Structure 1
Amino acid sequence: MRAWRWWAGVCVLAMGCGEAFTEEALSDNDAPEPVAVQGADRPPALGPASLLKDIYPPPEDPVPGPFGGTAPTDLTSFRGRLFFAAFDLEAGQGALWRSEGTTASTVPVKHLVDVPGRLTVVGKKLFFTGGFSEEHGAELWVSDGTTAGTRLIKNLRPDSGYTLLGDFIAVGDTLFFFRMVRPDIIASGNLELWRSNGTSAGTVRVKDLGPEGDLNGPLDLASVGNRLFMSLGRTETGTELWVSDGTSAGTHLVKDILPGTESSFPRHLTAAAGVLYFSADDGEHGRELWRSDGTARGTELVEDTRPGPEGSEAQPITVFKKRLYFAAFTPGYTVTELRKLDPDPSCHPRSNRVATIPNPYANIPREFFIFVSSFTATDRKLYFTLFYDVGSPAPADVQLWRTDGTRNGTKLLYQPLIVSPDLRVPTPVPTNDGRVVLYAYDTAHGHEPWVSNGQPGGTRLLQDILPGPASSYPQDLLRAGDFIYFTAQDAVHGREIWVLPVPPDRE
């Protein structure tokens, strides 16, 4: 096995468990003409973004690439403010910072011996690692957003050896995380599941999961109510679905979907209607859509979208307008199907096909892999990105799409979003008026911030932070309060946080 990687009711027929229907493939004729908005209907001006604060000066020596150096990390929205981590090379210490969108309000909350990491919001608490120190090893911290309320929870380092903390996730009002205990920093260790309520007494080990060499994962995590679901591999079962209620006895394999030592590899764990939806391969139907209530009996194939052992490579996306949307693919990824169904566990519907998206590169003699890499649901639109992977460092294409749940309302907005192998695919961030902010690429401006109103003609450059064809490489998009934040690099400050005020709602 690979080493552990870090990283009921009644169904309403008309609205719920409806029958399947088919749609024709999308064509250029489906795209509406850009609408010219004038007068009072014009949305308020957006931008420009500005440098929030030069947190720490860049190092004197050149930083290799656009993502090196001491850039702020772990941008997180907590109590309507921005929180983030930064490291001061000159002072040799890290700090937890907060901001309310102005230079004056951007201040350190707590200085630490190392850079904070894994910032995770759980209710009114912000958990994070305090880095790694010789005194404590891996440290678990909690904050209420103030200096006085930011403290070390518990020393999680054993009497001998080293600890690493990872895979933080909020489950109800509890933080779940994993601790790796090793005799030294490079040796193989033991993996444990822990939970914390923010107090020393309430930070406890849930279960010893076993030696690192006998495990694969956790590969995916999801919170459903007060339970943690995960995809975890063991030698005797392969990689299968596990669940935890925060107790040792309640942390166990849910079901060996592909019996024996082979793996069903549960992926894309997604909460919907109080149950878990995911994709898995049981060896008979191929990779299809499944769901689970946390019991073996309640873990079932939802539908065999593409009959046969190849399967549809189903990928759950998210809930939009009370329907679970997922992507399915024809053999060879020649067509992407956007589908939806009622996620109510008392229903057993066939999914409805919303739209079909042909692969424009299907005739290229290379093996393709297509997947939804990011998504954002607003009140009226679901935005999602399709990533075309051919095994090269850079993507073959990354496309921005949107849908309102209908075929004619499913539109390609822009391509390619990114061409850099080092830039993460953006997750569009909503404003108050139906627009979304993201980043995209064109040859004249490089990778820069963009905005979209949900129409191809309204998807455009927002600001050229690094003028000309060079890129500012924005990433880490996040909304906190009335501001959208992201990191970008200009020609003077290196990579820092930029802030974009969000216009208020019109009354």
Structure 2
Amino acid sequence: MGCLAVVLAAMAGCSEVGQEAPGTVRDTQPLSIPPAAPESDPWYFQWAGDKVFFVATEAVHGRELWVSDGTSTGTQLVLDINPGGGSSSPNQLVLGDGGLYFRANDGLGERLWVSDGTPGGTRPLLTGSEAESLEVMAFAPAGGSLFLAVPHPYPGAGLWKSDGTPAGTVLLKSLNVAELLKEVDGTLFFLAEDWETGPALWKSDGTPEGTVPLTALSMSGPQVRDSERVGGTLFFTLQSWGDSSTRELWKSDGTPGGTVLLKVFSNVPSIPGYSLSPFEDLTAVGGTLFFVGYDETHGPHLWKSDGTGVGTVRVMPSGLPANWWFEPKFLLGVNGLVYFTAQTMESGNDPWTFSYELWRSDGTAEGTVRLTNFPGEGFDSPECVPVGWVGSRALFSTFKYSEPRSRELWASDGTVEGTVKLRAFAPDFTGAFFWMSGSSQNAFFFAGDDGVHGREPWKTDGTPEGTVMLRDIWADGP
């Protein structure tokens, strides 16, 4: 059933049989596509103030780091990290106060790099430091530093931090770090266990004395499903290693007393065909957390939390019959609303009679409404995925799997009338349409294929005329 949130695109749905709801789409026309062209296949768009970083391929330098100011002439190769036709293949792009952090292979092996978007400001991060030869499992920026996790049993196992200099790269705590979560007000949260106690939620302010446990976790082999910052609070969900039937929703304000279990969800099934499990879509909208939760009576539904047990509740659309199955996924918060894909069907019906639909919610039953209704059932109904935002408008893509296939980019201001198609693209199955796309207040950057140039970098300002190819990198070169 469909693909991952930012990869392939599409969703929508239909109304009850024989009826046509407002917002029914009739103008979805397939694009005639010639044979595939050579392409730069851009990925990992990461917006950084007045520029966007991404990874792309061209014939002379291979796959390297690029940067753009949103203009064709301002879209340039940052540095040929692996000189010549070899590719450094940058990956895991993360933005911090010190610049863009990423992994890349310069021909001597893969290691951490940092870049400010200029050739002179792009360099290996840990050269000459004590951590240069360490096996870094994960890294995350917080409080002006980059935190590094080295897992057990590798030498130097523990939590490190670096300010980008050899002298400022130090071990904070020797322990077994399982997962780095998110930064909240300069503090990094992470899951770890020391050599004497079991797994716990920890925090670090970048000092040894400020790297401390917050609360022990009784769940056996806890794994973080997702985490999200809402104001000054971190929300996260846990499941036990090897057992996904029980999920826990937690919150922490960075103190032991403020780190509490909010709700336990039991008997959570593995839903056939469901491309994301519940509790993997934690999304902040204002001061409210939205997520996909599950209970045995209603199945997967939209939930919200204000950080209290009594305020962690299901959001039920007022117009949806009580006996209908409602499977939301791919949550995206924009301008005070949460947008999501819903796959609806009447309980007990053939599972292939589902419809894909785009919904939005303000957290109330009356404010949870369907925005689009595409014709067809099952794979004849275009799947729709919220992929990003520009200004106050949410962007989503549609993809129809059955013939004639189609792939389109749409925008919505949260109303049926303001939900409009921006452009059609090539309906290919190869590669990613919106993989690791990047949003800003004025533009959304993504990989698009117009059927002539192959996948190249595109941008949109949320209007049809402002949806344009940024540059044909493969044809133009650096």
Per the normalisation by structure 1, the TM-score is 0.65
Q: Which residue is equivalent to 1:351?
A: 367
Question: More deviation in 292-301 or 458-467?
Answer: 458-467
Q: Which residue is equivalent to 2:79?
A: 53
Partner SS state of residue 466, structure 1: helix
1:449-468 aligned within 5 A: 449-467=457-475
Hey, what's the Cα distance between the residues in 2 that align with 1:399 and 1:230?
33
Q: Which residue is equivalent to 1:98?
A: 114
1:244-259 aligned within 5 A: 244-247=252-255, 250-258=258-266
1:281/1:449 CA distance change after superposition, 3 Å: same
| Residues 75-109 of structure 1: CA deviation (Å, up to 9, x unaligned) | 2222373232334453x573x43323221222233
Q: State whether residues 359 and 371 of structure 2, in contact with CA within 8 Å, keep that contact through their aligned partners in structure 1.
A: yes
Hey, what's the Cα distance between the residues in 1 that align with 2:179 and 2:82?
27
Q: State whether residues 379 and 401 of structure 2, in contact with CA within 8 Å, keep that contact through their aligned partners in structure 1.
A: no
Count of residues paired in the alignment: 397
Once the two structures are aligned, what percentage of the paired residues are identical? Answer: 30
Hey, what's the Cα distance between the residues in 2 that align with 1:337 and 1:375?
12
| Residues 289-328 of structure 1: CA deviation (Å, up to 9, x unaligned) | 2112233222112224533354321347333333333443
> Do residues 82 (structure 1) and 82 (structure 2) align?
no
Q: 2:303 aligns with which of 287, 290, 299?
A: 290
1:8-407 aligned within 5 A: 23-28=22-27, 45-47=71-73, 49-57=75-83, 70-79=88-97, 81-90=99-108, 92=109, 94=111, 96-111=112-127, 112-114=132-134, 116=136, 118-129=138-149, 134-137=154-157, 139-146=158-165, 148-156=167-175, 163-179=176-192, 191-210=199-218, 214-215=220-221, 217-234=223-240, 238-247=246-255, 250-258=258-266, 265-304=278-317, 306-308=320-322, 310-315=324-329, 317-331=331-345, 332-341=353-362, 343=363, 348-353=364-369, 355-358=371-374, 362=378, 364=380, 370=383, 372=385, 375-386=387-398, 399-407=408-416
Q: Which runs of 5+ in 2 are unaligned?
A: 1-20, 29-68, 271-276, 346-352
Per the normalisation by structure 2, the TM-score is 0.69
Hey, what's the Cα distance between the residues in 1 that align with 2:70 and 2:202?
47
1:453/1:229 CA distance change after superposition, 3 Å: closer
Hey, what's the Cα distance between the residues in 2 that align with 1:418 and 1:167?
37
1:363/1:296 CA distance change after superposition, 3 Å: closer
Q: State whether residues 333 and 370 of structure 1, in contact with CA within 8 Å, keep that contact through their aligned partners in structure 2.
A: no
Hey, what's the Cα distance between the residues in 1 that align with 2:169 and 2:426?
39
Q: State whether residues 26 and 355 of structure 1, in contact with CA within 8 Å, keep that contact through their aligned partners in structure 2.
A: no
Hey, what's the Cα distance between the residues in 2 that align with 1:284 and 1:354?
22
**How far has the Cα of 1:52 moved from its partner?**
0.9
Hey, what's the Cα distance between the residues in 1 that align with 2:146 and 2:465?
40
Hey, what's the Cα distance between the residues in 2 that align with 1:236 and 1:465?
44
| Residues 160-198 of structure 1: CA deviation (Å, up to 9, x unaligned) | xxx45324311333111123789xxxxxx9644221111
What one-letter code is carried by the residue in structure 2 that aligns with 1:407? V
Q: Which residue is equivalent to 2:422?
A: 413
Q: State whether residues 114 and 132 of structure 1, in contact with CA within 8 Å, keep that contact through their aligned partners in structure 2.
A: no
Hey, what's the Cα distance between the residues in 2 that align with 1:423 and 1:44?
21
C-alpha RMSD of the superposition: 4.1
Q: Which runs of 5+ in 1 are unaligned?
A: 1-21, 30-42, 61-68, 157-162, 183-188, 391-395, 469-489, 491-497, 499-507
Q: Which residue is equivalent to 1:437?
A: 445
**How far has the Cα of 1:59 moved from its partner?**
9.4
What one-letter code is carried by the residue in structure 1 that aligns with 2:358? E
Q: Which residue is equivalent to 2:434?
A: 425
Partner SS state of residue 467, structure 1: helix
1:248/1:336 CA distance change after superposition, 3 Å: same
Q: Which has the higher contact order (CA 8 A, sep 6+)?
A: 2
**How far has the Cα of 1:53 moved from its partner?**
0.7
| Residues 198-218 of structure 1: CA deviation (Å, up to 9, x unaligned) | 11111123344357xx45632
Hey, what's the Cα distance between the residues in 2 that align with 1:86 and 1:58?
15
**How far has the Cα of 1:416 moved from its partner?**
4.8
